[in-house]
C-alpha cells in the first residue's frame, strides 16, 4: 500500500462541533405519518403527548418544518466529553480484503456506555431537567440505552428508573451494574410493581419478558408518578434528530478530506444511528444536490424492512403507546435468539420507513454467523472489538468492498460503527463454540403476526 495520504483518523476541532441538529423532515416531500391516539385513531396532539414526554421533546417530535434546531450550549458542552468522534479510514481492513474500495467508518463507541445512544440520552435528560422534572423512566433490552440514560441522568442529577427485560437482567448483570454505578434503579420486567406487569405475569407466568412489555411498564410508571416523564432511545423523530450529530460530523470531516461517499451503510434496529448518520446526506439527496446509495442492514431473524409491512402498529405489548406507521413485523412478533439485542425491535423509525417506502434507501438482511465472521475479521485488523449490532454494518460494508474487488471500482464506502462489544462476550463465545443459530422466520410465521396488526 502506498503512503496513507488520508489520515487514519480524522477528528474535527471541538470548536467545529455541530451547533444545530439537522431535521431531515423539513426536506422530505412526503412527511412521516403522525403518531395516532390508540383509542381514537386521531393524530396525537402536543397536549396528549405532553402527558408522557417532556414538553420540548414533544415540540421536536412534531416539528416537520424547521430544518435546523439549535443544540443548547449545555448539551454541546457535555458532548465534548466524547465528541467529536473519529472518522476512520479503514486502511487495514481494505488491505486485508485486497479491495480497491476506500472504506471509512464513524466510530461512536468511545464513551463508557459504549454506543451512540448517549447522543440522545444527554439531550433528553437535559430537557427533562429544564422542565423541572424529578426523573425519567425507560425500558432497556440488552442494556445499552439504559446505560446511556443513567449516565446522562447522573450529569443532570435526575432520578432514572429503568425497566430491563428480565432475561437480560439475569443474563447480563454487568450492564445492570454499570447503570447502578450511575445511580439508576433497575427493575426486571415484567414486574409486580405495575398493573400491566401484574397482568402480563398472570397471563404468562414465568415469562422472561420483552422490550414491548418493558415499554408498557415504564410508560405506566411515568404517567402515574408526579414529576416523571417517559423517554425512549430510538424509533422516535426526536431521537433521529439528536443523532444527526453523527452524520453532521462525518460529513464535515469527509468534506475536509475532499471525499464524497458513494455508499452509506448502517445497522438498523429502531433506526436511530442510521437515521443520524445519513441525515445530512439524505438532505442533499432530497434537495437534488447530490446522490448517494444508502443501505440499512438488519438481522435475518428480525427483518422489519425487508419482510415487514408498512402499516400502523403498536409500539409496545401493553398497547398503551401511540400507534406509529412504520415497517413492522407486528408488535407480538418476538424474534428468535439473536445476540444483537439492539436490533430486535419489531418496528422501525417512521422517518426511515417513509424514506424507504419512497425508494430513497435500500435494505438488506444478514445472518448472524456471517455477522460474527465479519466482526472478528474487523477486530483482528482494525483493533476495535465491535458490538454485534454494529457488525451488521461491517458485514454489509465488507460485502460491498468485495464486490468492488471483482469490478475494480474504487468506491468510497462509509459505514457507522455504533459501539463496542465488551459486554457481548457471551455472544462471541457462542460463535466460537459453534452454538450460534441462524434461524430465519418462515413466511407463515410472519403472516400470523401480520394478521394481528390493528385494524385501521
Ligand atoms: C441500540 C443499538 C443499535 C440499534 O439501534 P438504532 O436505534 O437502530 O441505532 C445499534 N448499535 C448499537 C451499538 C446499539 O447499542
For residue 426, the CA-to-ligand 1 centroid distance in Å is 18
Asked whether residue 171 carries a pLDDT value surpassing 90, the answer given is: no
For residue 226, the CA-to-ligand 1 centroid distance in Å is 31
Average pLDDT over residues 102-109: 98
Asked, for residue 150, whether it belongs to a domain, the answer is no
299 lines ligand 1 (CB under 6 A): no
Residue 181 pLDDT: 98
244 lines ligand 1 (CB under 6 A): no
Residue nearest to atom 14 of ligand 1 (CA): 342
390 lines ligand 1 (CB under 6 A): yes
* Structural domain count, the chain: 1
Asked, for residue 180, whether it belongs to a domain, the answer is no
Average pLDDT over residues 71-93: 98
Q: Which domain holds residue 105?
A: 8-16+72-114+236-450
- The best mutation among 246, 419, 420 to test binding of ligand 1, ranked by most ligand atoms within 8 Å of the C-beta, falls on 419
For residue 266, the CA-to-ligand 1 centroid distance in Å is 10
Average pLDDT over residues 73-93: 98
Average pLDDT over residues 426-430: 94
273 lines ligand 1 (CB under 6 A): yes
Q: How confident is the model at residue 65 (pLDDT cuts 50, 70, 90)?
A: very high
115 lines ligand 1 (CB under 6 A): yes
Asked whether residue 3 carries a pLDDT value surpassing 70, the answer given is: no
- The best mutation among 144, 165, 247, 349 to test binding of ligand 1, ranked by most ligand atoms within 8 Å of the C-beta, falls on 144
For residue 342, the CA-to-ligand 1 centroid distance in Å is 5
Residue 169 pLDDT: 92
Asked whether residue 2 carries a pLDDT value surpassing 70, the answer given is: no
117 lines ligand 1 (CB under 6 A): yes
Residue nearest to atom 3 of ligand 1 (CA): 342
For residue 40, the CA-to-ligand 1 centroid distance in Å is 32
113 lines ligand 1 (CB under 6 A): no
Q: How many CB atoms lie within 10 A of CB 151?
A: 26
421 lines ligand 1 (CB under 6 A): no
Residue nearest to atom 13 of ligand 1 (CA): 419
Give the whole-angstrom CA distance, residue 325 versus residue 429: 38
331 lines ligand 1 (CB under 6 A): no
Asked, for residue 229, whether it belongs to a domain, the answer is no
Average pLDDT over residues 24-28: 98
CATH code, domain carrying 362 = 3.40.50.1100
> If you average pLDDT over every residue of the chain, what do you get?
95
Whole-angstrom CA distances from 238 to 3, 58, 275, 362 are 42, 8, 11, 23
How would you write the chain as a 3-class SS string?
A: CCCCCCCCEECCCHHHCCCEEECHHHHCCCCCCCCECCCCCCECCHHHHHCCCCHHHHHHHHCCCCCEEECCHHHHHHHCCCCCCCEEECHHHHHHHCCCCEEEEEECCCCCCCECCHHHHHHHHHHHHHCCCCEEEEEECCCHHHHHHHHHHHHHCCEEEEEEEHHHHHHCHHHHHHHHHCCCEEEEECCCCCHHHHHHHHHCCCCCCCHHHHHHHHHHHHHHCCCEEECCCCCCHHHHHHHHHHHHHHHHHHHHHCCCCCEEEEECCCCHHHHHHHHHHHHHHHCCCCCCEEEEEEECCCCHHHHCEEEEEECCCCCCCCEEEEEECCCCCCCCCCCCHHHCCCCCCHHHHHHHHCCCCEEEEECHHHHHHHHHHHHHHHCCCECHHHHHHHHHHHHHHHHHHHHCCCCEEEEEECEECHHHHHHHHHHHCCCCCCCCCCHHHHHHHHCCCCCC
211 lines ligand 1 (CB under 6 A): no
The contacts of residue 54 (CB under 8 Å, 6+ apart) are 124, 127, 128, 131, 133, 229, 231
302 lines ligand 1 (CB under 6 A): no
Give the whole-angstrom CA distance, residue 334 versus residue 344: 8
Asked, for residue 56, whether it belongs to a domain, the answer is no
Asked, for residue 344, whether it belongs to a domain, the answer is yes
Asked whether residue 428 carries a pLDDT value surpassing 70, the answer given is: yes
Average pLDDT over residues 104-118: 97
Residue 30 pLDDT: 98
243 lines ligand 1 (CB under 6 A): no
Grid cell 476495535 is found at: 384
For residue 273, the CA-to-ligand 1 centroid distance in Å is 6
Residue nearest to atom 5 of ligand 1 (CA): 269
- The best mutation among 112, 327, 335, 418 to test binding of ligand 1, ranked by most ligand atoms within 8 Å of the C-beta, falls on 418
Q: How confident is the model at residue 239 (pLDDT cuts 50, 70, 90)?
A: very high
Asked, for residue 219, whether it belongs to a domain, the answer is no
387 lines ligand 1 (CB under 6 A): yes
The contacts of residue 101 (CB under 8 Å, 6+ apart) are 94, 400, 401, 404, 405, 409, 410, 411, 412, 413
Convert the pLDDT of each residue in 318-361 to its tens digit: 788 899 999 999 988 888 777 777 888 899 999 999 999 999 99
Average pLDDT over residues 281-310: 97
Cα dihedral sign for 316, 317, 318, 324? positive
Asked if residue 10 lies in contact with residue 86, where contact means CB atoms within 8 angstroms, the answer is yes
Asked whether residue 200 carries a pLDDT value surpassing 70, the answer given is: yes
Asked, for residue 282, whether it belongs to a domain, the answer is yes
Whole-angstrom CA distances from 128 to 231, 332, 394, 440 are 9, 31, 35, 40
Average pLDDT over residues 121-134: 98
- The best mutation among 124, 273, 326 to test binding of ligand 1, ranked by most ligand atoms within 8 Å of the C-beta, falls on 273
Residue 245 pLDDT: 98
144 lines ligand 1 (CB under 6 A): yes
CA atoms within 13 A on the CB side of 54: 24
Residue 167 pLDDT: 87
Asked, for residue 39, whether it belongs to a domain, the answer is no
Residue nearest to atom 2 of ligand 1 (CA): 342
For residue 63, the CA-to-ligand 1 centroid distance in Å is 24
For residue 207, the CA-to-ligand 1 centroid distance in Å is 25
Residue 1 pLDDT: 45
Amino acid at each position: 500500500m502506498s503512503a496513507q495520504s488520508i489520515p487514519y483518523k480524522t477528528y474535527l476541532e471541538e470548536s467545529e462541533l455541530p451547533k444545530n441538529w439537522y431535521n431531515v423532515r423539513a426536506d422530505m416531500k412526503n412527511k412521516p405519518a403522525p403518531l395516532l391516539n390508540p383509542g381514537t385513531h386521531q393524530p396525537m396532539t402536543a397536549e396528549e403527548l405532553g402527558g408522557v414526554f417532556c414538553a420540548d421533546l414533544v415540540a421536536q417530535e412534531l416539528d416537520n418544518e424547521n430544518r435546523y434546531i439549535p443544540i443548547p450550549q449545555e448539551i454541546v458542552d457535555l458532548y465534548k466529553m466524547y465528541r467529536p468522534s473519529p472518522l476512520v479510514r479503514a486502511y487495514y481492513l481494505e488491505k486485508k480484503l485486497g479491495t480497491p474500495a476506500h472504506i471509512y467508518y464513524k466510530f461512536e463507541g468511545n464513551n463508557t456506555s459504549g454506543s451512540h445512544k448517549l447522543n440522545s440520552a444527554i439531550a433528553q435528560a437535559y430537557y427533562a431537567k429544564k422542565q423541572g422534572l424529578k426523573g425519567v423512566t425507560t425500558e432497556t433490552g440488552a442494556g445499552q440505552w439504559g446505560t446511556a440514560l443513567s449516565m446522562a441522568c447522573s450529569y443532570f442529577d435526575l432520578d432514572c428508573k429503568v425497566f430491563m427485560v428480565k432475561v437480560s437482567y439475569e443474563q447480563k448483570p454487568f450492564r445492570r451494574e454499570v447503570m447502578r454505578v450511575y445511580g439508576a434503579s433497575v427493575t426486571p420486567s415484567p414486574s409486580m410493581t405495575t398493573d400491566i406487569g401484574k397482568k402480563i405475569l398472570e397471563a404468562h407466568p414465568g415469562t422472561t419478558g420483552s422490550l414491548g412489555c418493558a415499554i408498557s411498564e415504564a410508560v405506566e410508571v411515568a404517567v402515574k408518578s408526579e414529576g416523571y416523564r417517559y423517554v425512549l432511545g430510538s424509533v422516535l423523530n426526536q431521537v433521529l434528530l439528536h443523532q444527526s450529530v453523527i452524520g453532521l460530523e462525518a460529513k464535515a470531516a469527509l468534506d475536509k478530506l475532499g471525499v464524497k461517499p458513494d455508499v452509506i451503510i448502517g445497522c438498523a434496529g429502531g433506526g436511530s444511528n442510521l437515521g443520524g448518520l445519513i441525515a445530512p446526506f439524505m438532505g442533499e439527496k432530497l434537495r437534488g444536490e447530490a446522490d448517494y446509495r444508502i443501505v440499512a442492514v438488519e438481522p435475518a431473524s428480525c427483518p422489519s424492512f425487508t419482510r415487514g409491512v408498512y402499516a400502523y402498529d403498536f409500539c409496545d405489548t401493553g398497547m398503551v403507546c401511540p400507534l406509529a406507521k412504520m415497517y413492522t413485523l407486528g408488535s407480538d412478533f418476538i424474534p428468535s435468539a439473536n445476540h444483537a439485542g439492539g436490533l430486535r425491535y419489531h418496528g422501525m423509525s417512521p422517518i426511515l420507513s417513509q424514506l424507504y417506502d419512497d425508494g430513497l434507501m435500500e435494505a438488506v438482511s444478514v445472518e448472524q454467523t456471517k455477522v460474527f465472521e465479519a466482526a472478528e475479521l474487523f477486530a483482528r485488523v482494525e483493533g476495535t472489538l465491535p458490538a454485534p449490532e454494529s457488525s451488521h454494518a461491517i458485514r454489509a460494508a465488507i460485502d460491498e468492498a468485495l464486490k468492488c474487488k471483482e469490478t475494480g471500482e474504487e468506491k468510497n464506502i462509509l459505514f457507522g460503527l455504533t459501539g463496542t462489544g465488551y459486554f457481548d462476550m457471551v455472544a462471541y463465545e457462542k460463535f466460537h463454540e459453534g452454538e450460534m443459530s441462524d434461524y430465519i422466520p418462515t413466511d407463515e410465521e410472519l403472516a400470523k403476526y401480520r394478521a394481528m396488526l390493528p385494524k385501521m
